Structure 1
Amino acid sequence: MNARNEFLSKNWYIPLNFFASEDEGRTELPTEQKKQKAREDGQVLKSTEINSAVTLFILFAVFFFMLSYFAQELMNVFRWQAGKLPEIMSVSIYALSFSYIKPMFGYMIVFLLISFIVSFLINVIQVGFLITFKPVVPRWDRVNPNFSKWIKNSFGSFDAFFNLFKSLSKIAIISLIYYIMLKSNIGKISRMSEYSLEDGISVILSLAYRICFFSIIVLMGISILDYLFQRTRYIENLKMTKEEVKQERKEMEGDPLLRSRMRERMREILNTNLRVTVPQADVVITNPEHFAVAIKWDSNTMLAPKVLAKGQDEIAFVIKQIARENNIPVMENKPLARELYANVDVNEEIPREYWEIVSKILVKVYSIAKKFN
């Protein structure tokens, strides 16, 4: 699980009783499969407030670093106008406006490009790289002629209330910031005609800087609140009933009864194969409880001893049982049993590094067999 999904699955969940998921019987948190299906349908966790706040923050940072350039451009415009005042009096208002906009046009292009790039990157960070047209495809099953229900969903839902509260909060707080800043600087603003050109521009840009700074702090706080709300709403919308969770588990893992039958069938096939291969072995090396490896050695047909069968836990018990039924020696060697089980496949010759210890075991087995014979 990546960091983003881990963050989504843990803290920062606001339990809101306004949502109807529990009333509808949807009490279970959404599974990863449910989230993935919703993502394919374009239903993702996303806060537009974060986009706006981060974009404005980046633009503010760019504005801060380019502040001296803005001041210089404004001074150049005002000086040009002051030097050509008689000509300007006869110029149309459109031409005069263009004389202000033209020096700033390059900066506006830079700001627009930065805004587009930052918005794109924030979207990718929030939802990943996702291209889907499902949200814009018309769905006639959603057409609802019930006007009263539409009014309730649009204006009476908690979503609508929260969005209204969010918008009014932004307007009220930012307006308060404007009021406080203008009131605290009203003396400087009223004496603007007494200032030099450089001082006047400095006052204007300084005031704009402080208004932007405090406004962005407010927007960042609102964006965090909006993200927590959107995350809660996202989880509530995707909540599942217990029956849906069971059905999804069945689809992912298969029917439990069918799985049980398949395991039983595989066990029967495996036991049948073991009853053919294990009796051909010369020795079974055990852990002794958890691992069992059946080995055969024929100097006429093999370059090295070969593993005929191996198993762990239940299968190891079956191998040892078959070996005893067929009088195949069972030798305990914990390290060797673990190594052979982990590193050598069935019907594969034993690697050279195990030859010495395996040969000692085989010599011991053959000497015992010769003695009894």
Structure 2
Amino acid sequence: MADDTDDKTEDPTQKRLDEALEKGDVVKSQEVNTWFIIAGATLVLSTFSGSIGGGISMPLRNLIANSWMIRTDGAGLLQLTQTLGYAVVAAIGVPFLMLALAAVAGNMIQHQLVWSGEQLKPKFSKISPAAGFKRLFGKQAVANFLKGLFKLIALGVVMVMVLWPDRMRMESFLRVDPAELLPAITSMTVHLMAAVVAILAAVAIADYFFQYRTWYERHKMSLQEMKEEFKQSEGDPHVKGRIKQLRVQRAKKRMMAQVPKASVIITNPTHYSVALAYDRSMSAPICVAKGVDVLAFRIREIAKEHDIPIVENVPLARALYATVDIDKEIPVEHYHAVAEIIGYVMRLRRGLSGLRQ
């Protein structure tokens, strides 16, 4: 059955995104790569144009000046070729290395390095007519068309804005000595490329966010996929620990919500608090909340907010905390001590009621 993308309404989990990364399915904008290469070329041209020209022109000048000394036999011609090759490599080696680093940086800034052969495997979907039609007329194709149209218009406008002020100067290039022509053309080219880099920076940023959103939408999950992944990851100790932590947090919230229903709080002021609820319909008092340290302090704070009596009894507070569970009746051995406290609390409340009347 065909996959219905309309059902994929849930954000992808980290596990799904990690699996995509392992398969080599990463966010990649070709515009970002293009920007890095053109920016690198601009930097190379502005920085190394003089050294490249000098590094290549000097050997050629020497070659022409001493042409009568060149040996024409096989060994001499091979040596000449090697000498010129070394000169060219020395002149353009560093600039080409910078361009290669720029191309690598364009990929690394978008995603971490991935070694995967998954994208090299043949897939019938790539030669499917339906898939080809979707690539030609889909959202990606429309975005590429609009992006290309914007670049064509923007770059045309930028070229006119940069070159138009120098139009008279360019006419005079026909009468300028070639030795003076090259620096002028280099300067104009650098200015033009700098403007192109600025325009392409905006295109690259917009395209990267578009490609990221497309990639993220492609990995969205259906509710059924979420359920299946949860079942598969249930055995993960990290997941189990997180689930246990969430359960403990929920249990604490429910317990703290029961504190206002307590009849009395028995406490050891520095460590323990046990909240007991009792009315005449009960056979024995019930523990509705208990805690130590910070949780005990919070129980006492809630009790104060709701005018619940707090009774200090160090041994009883320790004993009740150790022996009684939440929502359970207190043990028989503590009936007498607790009964005295609850009786005292009831008498106190009756006395307060009489005073109010």
**1:286 maps onto 2:292 in alignment:** no
**3-state SS, counterpart of residue 109 of structure 2:** helix
1:136 to 114, 120, 124: 120
1:239: which partner in 2?
220
Structure 1, gaps ≥5 residues long: 1-20, 86-98, 264-283, 294-309, 331-373
Aligned to 2:27: 45
In 1, the alpha carbon distance for the partners of 2:66 and 2:162 equals: 34
Structure 1 residues 197 and 82: alpha-carbon distance in aligned structure 2, compared to 1, 3 A threshold: farther
Answer whether contact 1:188 1:203 (CA < 8 A) is retained.
no
Q: Quick one: structure 1 residues 138 and 292, their matched pair in 2 at CA, closer, same or farther if it must change by over 3 Å? A: same
Aligned residue in 2 for 1:60? 42
How much has 1:233 moved relative to structure 2? 0.6
Question: CA offsets per residue over residues 140-197 of structure 1, 9 Å max, x none?
Answer: 4x3665x3x2442131112112123323433443344444544432322222244355
2:144 aligned to which of 163, 185, 197: 163
Matching residue of 2:188? 207
**AA paired with 2:325?**
V
- 1:318 Cα offset (Å): 2.7
Q: 1:212 to 1:194 in 2, by over 3 A?
A: same
What SS does structure 2 have at the residue aligned with 1:185? helix
Aligned length: 256
Task: Kindly provide the amino acid, as one letter, of the partner of residue 213 in structure 1.
Answer: A
Match of 2:199 among 215, 218, 226: 218
Measured against aligned partners, the alpha-carbon deviations of 1:281-313 in whole angstroms (never above 9, x if no partner) come to: xxx9734464469xxxxxxxxxxxxxxxx9xx9
- 1:32 deviates by 1.1
Q: How does 1:331-370 map to 2 (within 5 A)?
A: none
The 1:204–1:84 alpha-carbon spacing in structure 2 relative to 1, beyond 3 Å, is farther
Segments of structure 2 that go 5 or more residues without pairing to the other structure are: 68-82, 248-267, 276-289, 294-317, 338-357
Q: Deviations over 1:249-298 (max 9, x none)?
A: 33333699xx99xx9xxxxxxxxxxxxxxxxxxxx9734464469xxxxx
Q: How does 1:1-373 map to 2 (within 5 A)?
A: 24-70=6-52, 72=54, 105-140=89-124, 142=125, 145=128, 147=129, 149-196=130-177, 199-253=180-234, 286-288=272-274, 290-291=290-291, 317-318=324-325, 324-325=331-332
- CA separation of 1:179 and 1:76: change in aligned 2, threshold 3 A: farther
CA distance 1:83–1:286, shift in 2 (3 Å): same
TM-score w.r.t. the length of structure 2 is 0.56
What is the CA–CA distance in structure 1 between the aligned matches of 2:168 and 2:61, rounded to whole Å? 25
Paired with 2:9 and 2:149, the residues of 1 have a C-alpha distance of 33
Pairwise CA distance, 1:223: 0.6
What is the root-mean-square deviation in Å for CA atoms of aligned residues?
A: 4.6
How far apart are residue 211 of structure 1 and its match? 1.4
